[in-house]
């Protein structure tokens, strides 16, 4: 079978949609995750669900694993191929099929780029809120498969909250539609949700139907700096207690602030312990009122400075400090390992301090930034994968950070998924019964275990 697989694929898809040469497939051996690599057998580019169904049928007949891939920006190794797997890359299925302004919905092929979906919605005066940092290249299928978040999670939620329906190809090759354009729909189990965040292990998403919102009329950006971590956390609690839900509530810690200053010179005070970037959006009058309250609350909690942007240009300038965080950190050392732990909001300040203690203990540079409003932190370890001794300390530090997160009632991943990177910790978090339930679901949908094997669990 193995010897006929490639010719059969070529016959159906055309030889140029089936890559096997070393130079062609080597670049599909990794995703955005540091240090993980694999070597696929071939990379195929389907044109539609029928092609996907055909590929899965052949793979099943030959017992060949299939790894679905969007743009390969994942941060948990989700699309890193299993040795000898077929990579099913949806990057060429990238059309936006429909913008339905009457029903506030948009339908696109799974390989459509998130940014293009934003643009298509925007052109119709509408708004697709999820905005992962990778949106200019991530695919909507990848977003659905990881249930990606972004900077607007606090008010608008994550990808899951916008998926009305989808077309999925199952391991046996059958093509299903799950969901509809109806706002309410309780016909049968909510299987759509099962596939959201399934990381390519249950089926291949080929189309997505998304919910859109009216575009908020106004937006206001505020940047507050604090001399102590607890003051920043206090400001966040005070804002939430005042019944204000900003659309964005982002955070940078001391190490991140210094790196941003070294590499991007965003004008942040180097001695600050924390920076909060807060954005309110909605009706202009409400936004103005909320912005004033946020400013007052930050000052009351001891902010050393509070800047409120006067216009869009100034907003962009304030936001650039947060946006450049990841890029600034990525420049410091050759290897950048981005963690994704999430804790209940009340545990945030303690968690940030715990990460600092872990960094000190192991002699590592760990900068923490993230989505404070969501309790989602990105402790980022700056290291060098070629330094075996240091990488060993990194392993220890990661395990301790996970331990601390679970102790505080948190989760090992808020938005990047389990993939390969978080696999060792999943059973600990879920407990035996819930963990086994995942396996039951997997076996029911993919009895041969050919869809992205070895991801989430073994």
Ligand X SMILES: Cc1cc2nc3c(=O)[nH]c(=O)nc-3n(C[C@H](O)[C@H](O)[C@H](O)COP(=O)(O)OP(=O)(O)OC[C@H]3O[C@@H](n4cnc5c(N)ncnc54)[C@H](O)[C@@H]3O)c2cc1C
Q: Which stretch binds ligand X (CB under 6 A): 53-61, 68-76, 226-234, 256-264?
A: 68-76
Which of 188, 386, 432, 444 contacts another protein by CB under 8 A?
Answer: 386
165 binds ligand X (CB under 6 A): no
**Of 454, 411, 458, 452, which is closest to residue 199 (Cα–Cα)?**
452
336 binds another protein (CB under 8 A): yes
Binding residues for another protein, how many (CB under 8 A)?
36
By a kind-dependent CB cut-off of 5 to 8 A, residue 315 interacts, out of another protein, ligand X, none, with: none
Q: How far is the CB of 145 from ligand X (least distance, A)?
A: 3
What tokens does 399 get?
A: 């395990």
95 binds another protein (CB under 8 A): no
Q: Which stretch binds ligand X (CB under 6 A): 56-64, 129-137, 303-311, 353-361?
A: 129-137
Q: Which stretch binds another protein (CB under 8 A): 87-95, 213-221, 344-352, 416-424?
A: 87-95
Element (H, E) at 398: helix 388-407
What tokens does 150 get?
A: 């972004």
200 binds ligand X (CB under 6 A): yes
- Alpha-carbon span 57 to 165, nearest angstrom: 24
Report the interhelical angle of 423-430 vs 432-445 (nearest 10°). Answer: 120
By a kind-dependent CB cut-off of 5 to 8 A, residue 199 interacts, out of ligand X, another protein, none, with: ligand X
- Alpha-carbon span 127 to 117, nearest angstrom: 9
What tokens does 434 get?
A: 């819930």
Q: Which positions from 113 to 142 touch another protein by CB under 8 A, shown as an x/- string?
A: x-x------------------x-xx-----
Q: Which stretch binds another protein (CB under 8 A): 27-35, 152-160, 172-180, 206-214?
A: 27-35
Residue 221 main-chain phi, psi, to 5 deg: -115, 135
**What ranges make up the beta strands (E) of 73-212?**
86-89, 96-100, 105-109, 126-127, 163-170, 175-179, 203-211
Q: Which positions from 164 to 203 touch another protein by CB under 8 A, shown as an x/- string?
A: ----------------------------------------
238 binds another protein (CB under 8 A): no
370 binds ligand X (CB under 6 A): no
71 binds ligand X (CB under 6 A): yes
Q: How far is the CB of 383 from ligand X (least distance, A)?
A: 17
**Plot region of 267 (φ>0 → left; ψ -120 to 50 → alpha; else → beta):** left
**Of 139, 189, 196, which is closest to residue 164 (Cα–Cα)?**
196
By a kind-dependent CB cut-off of 5 to 8 A, residue 200 interacts, out of ligand X, another protein, none, with: ligand X
142 binds ligand X (CB under 6 A): yes
- Alpha-carbon span 357 to 187, nearest angstrom: 50
- Cβ atoms of 212 and 196 within 8 Å: the answer is no
- Alpha-carbon span 279 to 277, nearest angstrom: 7
Q: Select 148 or 225, whichever has its Cβ closest to ligand X.
A: 148
**What ranges make up the beta strands (E) of 134-193?**
163-170, 175-179
**Of 66, 41, 36, 63, which is closest to residue 51 (Cα–Cα)?**
66
How many other CB atoms are found less than 10 A from the CB of residue 283?
Answer: 12
228 binds another protein (CB under 8 A): no
| Cross-strand bridge partners of residue 371 | 250, 376
129 binds ligand X (CB under 6 A): no
How many other CB atoms are found less than 10 A from the CB of residue 159?
Answer: 27
What tokens does 337 get?
A: 């390992």
| Residues at the interface with ligand X (CB under 6 A) | 31-32, 67-75, 78-79, 90, 110, 132-134, 138-139, 141-143, 145-146, 148-150, 199-200, 204-205, 326, 415-416, 452, 455
| Residues at the interface with another protein (CB under 8 A) | 19, 21-24, 26-32, 34, 45, 71-73, 91-92, 94, 113, 115, 134, 136-137, 263, 326-327, 330-331, 334-336, 384-386
């Amino acid at each position: 079978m193995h010897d006929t697989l490639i010719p059969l694929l070529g016959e159906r898809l055309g030889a140029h949609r089936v890559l096997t040469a070393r130079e062609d497939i080597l670049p599909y051996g990794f995703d955005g995750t540091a240090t993980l690599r694999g070597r696929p057998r071939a990379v195929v580019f389907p044109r539609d669900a029928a092609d996907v169904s055909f590929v899965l049928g052949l793979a099943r007949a030959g017992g060949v694993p299939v790894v679905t891939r969007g743009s390969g920006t994942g941060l948990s190794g989700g699309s890193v191929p299993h040795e000898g797997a077929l990579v099913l890359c949806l990057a060429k299925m990238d059309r936006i099929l429909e913008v339905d302004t009457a029903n506030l919905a948009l339908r696109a092929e799974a390989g459509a780029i998130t940014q293009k979906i934003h643009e298509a919605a925007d052109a119709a005066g509408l708004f697709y809120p999820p905005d992962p940092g990778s949106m200019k290249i991530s695919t909507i299928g990848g977003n659905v498969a990881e249930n990606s978040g972004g900077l607007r999670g606090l008010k608008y939620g994550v990808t899951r909250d916008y998926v009305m329906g989808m077309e999925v190809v199952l391991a046996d090759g059958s093509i299903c539609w799950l969901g509809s354009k109806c706002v309410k729909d309780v016909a049968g189990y909510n299987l759509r949700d099962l596939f959201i965040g399934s990381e390519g292990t249950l089926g291949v998403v080929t189309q997505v139907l998304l919910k859109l919102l009216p575009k908020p009329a106004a937006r206001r950006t505020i940047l507050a700096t604090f001399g102590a971590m607890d003051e920043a956390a206090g400001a966040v609690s005070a804002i939430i207690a005042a019944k204000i839900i900003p659309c964005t509530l982002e955070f940078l810690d001391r190490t991140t602030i210094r790196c941003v200053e070294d590499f991007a010179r965003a004008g942040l005070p180097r001695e600050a312990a924390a920076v909060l970037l807060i954005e309110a959006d909605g009706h202009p009058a409400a936004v103005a009122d909320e912005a004033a309250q946020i400013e007052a609350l930050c000052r009351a909690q001891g902010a050393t400075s509070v800047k409120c942007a006067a216009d869009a240009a100034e907003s962009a300038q304030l936001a650039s400090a947060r946006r450049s965080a990841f890029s600034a950190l990525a420049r410091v050392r050759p290897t950048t390992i981005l963690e994704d732990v999430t804790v209940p909001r009340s545990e945030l300040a303690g968690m940030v301090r715990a990460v600092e203690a872990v960094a000190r203990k192991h002699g590592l540079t760990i900068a923490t930034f993230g989505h404070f409003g969501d309790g989602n932190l990105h402790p980022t370890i700056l290291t060098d994968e070629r330094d075996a001794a240091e990488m060993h300390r990194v392993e220890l530090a990661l395990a301790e950070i996970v331990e601390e997160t679970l102790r505080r009632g948190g989760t090992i991943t808020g938005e990047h998924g389990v993939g390969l990177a978080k696999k060792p910790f999943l059973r600990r978090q879920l407990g035996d019964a819930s963990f086994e339930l995942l396996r039951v679901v997997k076996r029911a949908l993919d009895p041969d275990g050919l869809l992205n094997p070895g991801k989430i669990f073994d």
